[in-house]
Amino acid sequence: MWENLLLSLPKRPDILAIQMGAGFILLVLLGGIMFVVPPMHVAVSVAAILTCLYFFTRPMLALFSVFAVRGVLDLLWWIPGTIGGLNMLQLFSAAVFILITTQLFLDLKRMQNHECFQWFLGYLLLMTIATVRSTDIVRNLDSVVRYLSPFILFFMVSIYFDKRRLRHALLLTISMVGIIPLTMSLYHLDSVSLHGYNRLLGGYKNLHNMALMTLMFLTLWMFWLIQTQSMFKTLLLLMLLGAGGLTLYKTYIRTGFLGFTVFIATALLFHRRYRTLATAGALSLLILFLSPDLQDRFSDVMLVFDTDSIMLDKRKLGSGRWGIWTISVNKYLAQPVWDFILGIGLGGQRLMTLDWVKRFGAMHITLDPHNDFLLLLFQIGPFGVLCYLAIQWKVYKAARAIHAMPHADRFARNLGTFATALTAMVFVTNCISNSFVHRTSPGWFYWCVCGLMFAEYADLKKQASVRPGQMRAVPGPADP
User: With a cut of 50, which residues of the chain have pLDDT below it?
Assistant: 1-3, 5-13, 310-312
The 3-state DSSP class for residue 38 equals coil
Which of 418, 426, 420, 424 shows the shortest CA–CA distance to 444? 426
Q: Which amino acid is at 156?
A: M
What does the pLDDT read at residue 26?
Answer: 60
Q: Are 181 and 203 in contact (CB under 8 A)?
A: yes
What does the pLDDT read at residue 480?
Answer: 55
What does the pLDDT read at residue 281?
Answer: 83
Task: Look up the pTM and report it.
Answer: 0.85
Helix axes 164-177, 207-227, angle to 10 degrees: 130
Distance in angstroms (rounded) separating the CA atoms of residues 385 and 375: 9
Helices (H), 291-371: 292-297, 299-303, 317-333, 337-342, 348-359
Distance in angstroms (rounded) separating the CA atoms of residues 51 and 28: 16
The 3-state DSSP class for residue 86 equals strand
As to burial, measured by CB atoms within 10 angstroms (0-12 exposed, 13-18 middle, 19+ buried), residue 303 is middle
Distance in angstroms (rounded) separating the CA atoms of residues 57 and 55: 6
- Residue 51: alpha-carbon gap to chain centroid: 22
Q: Are 436 and 443 in contact (CB under 8 A)?
A: yes
